[in-house]
Amino acid sequence: MSQWKNFTKGLIKDNPVYILLLGLCPALGVTTSAFNGLGMGLATTFVLLGSNIVVSLIKNLIPDKVRIPSFIVIIASFVTIVQLTMEAYMPDLFDSLGLFIPLIVVNCLVMGRAEAFASKKDTLSSMIDALGMGLGFALALTMLGGLREILGAYSIFGIQLIPGVSDGMLVFVLAPGAFIGMGYLIILFNYLKKKTA
Amino acid sequence: MEYFAIVIGAIFVNNIVLAQFLGICPYMGVSAKVSTSVGMSGAVLFVMTLATIVTFLIYNYVLVPFNVTYLQTISYILVISSLVQMVEIMLKKVSPELYQALGIFLPLITTNCAIMGVALLTVQNEFTLLQGVVFAISHAAGFALAIILFAGIREHMDLMDLPKAMRGAPAALVVAGILALAFMGFAGLV
């Protein structure tokens, strides 16, 4: 498999959220706006990149029996880095993502890539895999956040689409909109996957 | 009264799945049949209560006195995953029947963000130990309510003639959305 294919597989073909159905909790929980979705997506990408690099570098040093706990410690360290950095430099985003920042540690996407990819492949491939999967995750969250923001507040990234009108369909900002919006985006991605395959 | 507010708030108003989006993976994954979702709910109730007690003690008697609260995420995930392992080993010895019933669900729970989420929320809300336990049990009950209702609907959905593109995950998510809409009716109750 060429590295280019390795990179692009996460965007549509194996999109972590819409095709593999991984990491649904943050995908539904934080996507009240496109900006929140993008922030969460990039935070997860950073954790994924860090943990994939470290895991692939030390994969030969970890005894097979304790590999899962070791992965958990590596992932949790990167999550703590993100948590402290974001609290210091982006307090607003930190407040709106809230509980879901520490919960990156139990995101099955991060653990899944460490176990299925980084613990078997070389460092360069693991880096590219992490970037592709992370950006696919960020794309998925930004799309869902954008959809909910457009329908719920008639704005995108905080920019009003119709001047003077700011209260849209409230249901899309609230919990039900997340589920319903994701259901239809899964249909879209299944269609895109079939189209490009 | 205070405990009553915690219970109602956790089960109905801020339902862990339908309002707080925690534990979506098992909610989507094991809700195909009512019987498996009952098993999962039992396992969640058991581990969530234990994990909340243990993480509460660790936070207040280890992390706070030594001024290392930034280790919260790492210590919690380690405690929860070793707790799940320990519970599994002990159940196998002490109560084989219960192990039979919960067995396959226990390893899945480590990656269930609901457990970690409730442990973190207990600290965030500055609960006492007893309040934390009540909080955990009612959140587990809320999880059970949501997943069993959902499994009941999904069993019926198998018999429906849905458009091909909607079958499977998309239809399940739309149904979950409608369920969340119904639970929004409880908003403002507490």
Task: Compute the distance between CA of residue A23 and CA of residue B113 in angstroms, rounded to an integer.
Answer: 10
Domain that holds residue B26: 19-183
Angstrom distances, CA of residue B106 to CA of A121, B26, B74, B100:
30, 11, 20, 11
Nearest to B117 by CA among B2, B38, B16, B43: B16
Report the residue of chain A nearest B18, measured CA to CA.
Answer: A175
B169: in domain: yes
CB contact under 8 A, B117 and A99: yes
A171 contacts in chain B (CB < 8 Å): 181
Tens of pLDDT, residue by residue over B65-104, are 898 888 888 898 888 888 888 888 887 888 787 777 666 6
Half-sphere exposure of residue A100: CA atoms within 13 angstroms, side-chain side: 26
CB of A41 closer than 8 Å to CB of A162: no
Angstrom distances, CA of residue B76 to CA of A43, A90, A112, B48, B112:
20, 24, 20, 12, 13
CB contact under 8 A, B73 and A191: no
* Count of beta carbons in the 10 Å neighbourhood of residue B43: 26
- pLDDT at position B110 is 67
Tens of pLDDT, residue by residue over B114-143, are 888 899 999 888 889 999 999 999 999 999
pTM: 0.87
Of these ranges, A44-58, B2-16, B35-49, B102-116, the one predicted with the greatest mean pLDDT is A44-58
pLDDT means over runs of 10, chain A (197 residues)? 81 86 86 90 94 91 84 91 92 88 86 85 89 93 92 83 77 88 92 84
- pLDDT at position A20 is 84
Chain A: give the shortest CA distance to residue B153, in Å: 16
CB contact under 8 A, A175 and B19: yes
Q: CB-CB: which of B21, B73, B172 is closest to A105?
A: B73
Going by their DSSP bridges, the two strands A155-156 and A159-160 should be labelled as antiparallel
Half-sphere exposure of residue A159: CA atoms within 13 angstroms, side-chain side: 3
User: For chain B, how many structural domains are there in total?
Assistant: 1
CB of B171 closer than 8 Å to CB of B162: yes
When scoring B12, B69, B74, B143 by the number of chain A Cβ atoms within 10 A, the one with the most, hence best to mutate, is: B74
Give the residue-averaged pLDDT of B27-53.
85
CB contact under 8 A, A103 and B113: yes
- Give A114-181 as a DSSP string: IIIIITTS-HHHHHHHHHHHHHHHHHHHHHHHHHHHHHHHSEETTEESSTT-----GGGTSHHHHHHH
B112 in contact with chain A, both atoms CB, cutoff 8 A? yes
Domain that holds residue A33: 3-196
Give the residue-averaged pLDDT of B155-180.
88
B180 in contact with chain A, both atoms CB, cutoff 8 A? yes
B157 in contact with chain A, both atoms CB, cutoff 8 A? no
Chain A: give the shortest CA distance to residue B181, in Å: 5
CB contact under 8 A, A183 and B172: yes
Q: How confident is the model at residue B1 (pLDDT cuts 50, 70, 90)?
A: low
Q: How many contacts (CB atoms, under 8 Å) link A and B?
A: 109
- pLDDT at position A1 is 60
B188: in domain: no
Residues of chain B above pLDDT 90, percent: 25
B59: in domain: yes
B48 contacts in chain A (CB < 8 Å): none
| A81, two tokens | 């880095």
B190: in domain: no
User: For chain A, how many structural domains are there in total?
Assistant: 1
When scoring A80, A83, A179, A190 by the number of chain B Cβ atoms within 10 A, the one with the most, hence best to mutate, is: A179
| A169, two tokens | 């369909």
Q: What does DSSP assign to residue A12?
A: T
Half-sphere exposure of residue A142: CA atoms within 13 angstroms, side-chain side: 16
Task: Compute the distance between CA of residue A97 and CA of residue A23 in angstroms, rounded to an integer.
Answer: 15
Give bridge partners of residue A156 from the DSSP assignment.
Answer: A159
B110: in domain: yes
- Give phi and psi for A173, each to the nearest 5: -80, -30
Report the residue of chain B nearest A23, measured CA to CA.
Answer: B25
Q: Residue B184, Cα to own-chain centre: how many angstroms?
A: 19
Report the residue of chain A nearest B81, measured CA to CA.
Answer: A69
Q: What does DSSP assign to residue B186?
A: G
- pLDDT at position B162 is 85
Q: Is B162 left (phi over 0), alpha (psi -120 to 50) or beta?
A: beta
